[in-house]
A and B are shown apart, each in its own frame.
Chain A
């Protein structure tokens, strides 16, 4: 009794594993949600709410702007303040030609929403992986803690090490590999060169995803900032092959 589904949506592939149910409608509900998010939040779609907000065709206060969008905008604003501008979705080159691209928050946020939806439906054990950002509930199929491999920055096929834990748990990684230097420092507009990747573990994927981006921009020093966020810890791979972890992060590392 388990479900597995892979959906290509939101510019990535989202893998859904539900361990303790065979109710296919759960998968359908999640898939519908991700497509809805894609419609509303995609910066690649000229008529998405996000593109219209970016162009100024819509104001955040307009009635067409849903509560979900407002929630994302508000949280992005809070993160911007909390990080002294390191996290800034209003200063990023967006595919729609504007400077507004909240994708760095939306992916994790939408997966976290999906995870909450599963929990509301009584699902306990699940794993949702959206392009490398992972939300976990409960335990894996063999009643063991989930084991999450962290991709090696130099080899997409290799796992550098493994994290282990029971849900609710989120693991997010920001990296330049595979998509080139797609993360720029919003403060300078320059691509990030210090790190190869940054990984954050914590209770909520919306924040973990955002924090991974922040950590990636801040560099290894960002681990100190991250340690001030209750429940979150992380690691970074530098471009010259060093792995630097925060102390709490090592609790999750499988031997």
Chain B
């Protein structure tokens, strides 16, 4: 589809980056030293701000109400902001191969009071080491949005007795999956695969790719600030089942219900 024509309130703009926005991004990055919002090294927003911490055009920027950033060595970053008329500008900022832009369509007839159509940045993840993943976000006005992820088993409740807990084994069409979970300091410190499908070439490939990913997923999920995830269809239900039973065992051994 192209620019929605049913409403004058939406725009779609994927083209070059607004220099003003670049500046703002740089400024926002400077508000939190070390924030991943600092422009990517090779990104087009690398231009340093002239007056760190201050906006070049405060009047227009007054309604810039949210700017979130997930950091997986962020390849792409997109910001939408609203101007005085409530119009949305969509600006894309990318580096590397990542692409992403964010558009709000005013699908309903405009009402008297419309919220500033401001949306956190879309996030382009990159496959990097989990260590590089720091949930981070910066908004000029309010809170911090998390980035990381996921719908694996329950996060480790505090109070689990340190130790290694073995999950039950579960068979799927590719073979049997069994994991054990190592708790340290009340947190999941490691997930080890005890059994995985290795019957044929395809299941070896699945195991090599999927299981390490799932392990990372688990380790990351306990710090993710979400209760659940929409859109995450099953990756490996056998893994989850085994994982869940290991966590249940850990909870039971620690006298934690639920």
Question: A residues engaging B (CB < 8 A)?
Answer: 1-4, 6, 8, 12-13, 15, 17, 22, 127, 129, 131-134, 140-141, 146-163, 171-173, 175, 177-179, 194, 197, 199, 219-221, 223-224, 226-227, 233, 240-248, 250-251, 253-255
Contacts and interface: CB of A to CB of B under 8 A. Distances in A.
Contact of A242 (B72, B102, B213): B102
Nearest to B66: A255
Interface residues of B, number: 72
Interface string B95-111: 00011111111111000
A250 B117 contact: yes
B233 A178 contact: yes
A49 B120 CA distance: 45
B153 A243 contact: no
A147 B225 contact: yes
Contacts of A157: 125, 148-150, 213, 216-217, 220
Contact of A247 (B99, B114, B120, B123): B114
B123 A158 contact: yes
Given A129-B229, A255-B142, 5 more contacts: A140-B227, A151-B149, A161-B123, A241-B76, A246-B108
A242 B12 CA distance: 10
A250 B72 contact: no
The secondary structure that dominates the A interface is: strand
A162 B139 CA distance: 14
Given A150-B230, A253-B120, A227 B72 contact: no
A250 B105 CA distance: 10
A241 B258 contact: no
Interface stretch (B20-28, B30-38, B178-186, B234-242): B234-242
Interface of B: 1, 4, 6, 9, 12, 14, 65-66, 68, 70, 72, 76, 78, 98-108, 114-115, 117-120, 122-125, 127, 139, 141-143, 145-151, 153-154, 170, 213, 216-217, 220, 224-235, 237-238, 240-241, 244, 257-258
A3 B9 CA distance: 45
Given A154-B124, A242-B100, A162 B233 contact: no
Contact of B226 (A147, A178, A255): A147
A132 B105 contact: no
B114 A148 contact: no
A247 B117 contact: yes
Given A8-B241, A171-B230, A197-B231, A241 B122 contact: yes
Contacts of B100: 241-243
A160 B147 CA distance: 7
B231 A154 contact: no
Given A158-B72, A241-B99, A243-B102, A224 B6 contact: yes
Contacts of A226: 107
A214 to B, nearest CB: 14
B231 A13 contact: no
A255 B228 contact: no
Given A13-B241, A224-B107, A247-B107, A255 B120 contact: yes
Given A15-B151, A140-B227, A220 B124 contact: no
A160 to B, nearest CB: 5
Contacts of B235: 156, 178
A158 to B, nearest CB: 4
A12 B105 CA distance: 33
Contacts of B4: 220-221, 224
Contact of A159 (B98, B147, B213, B258): B147
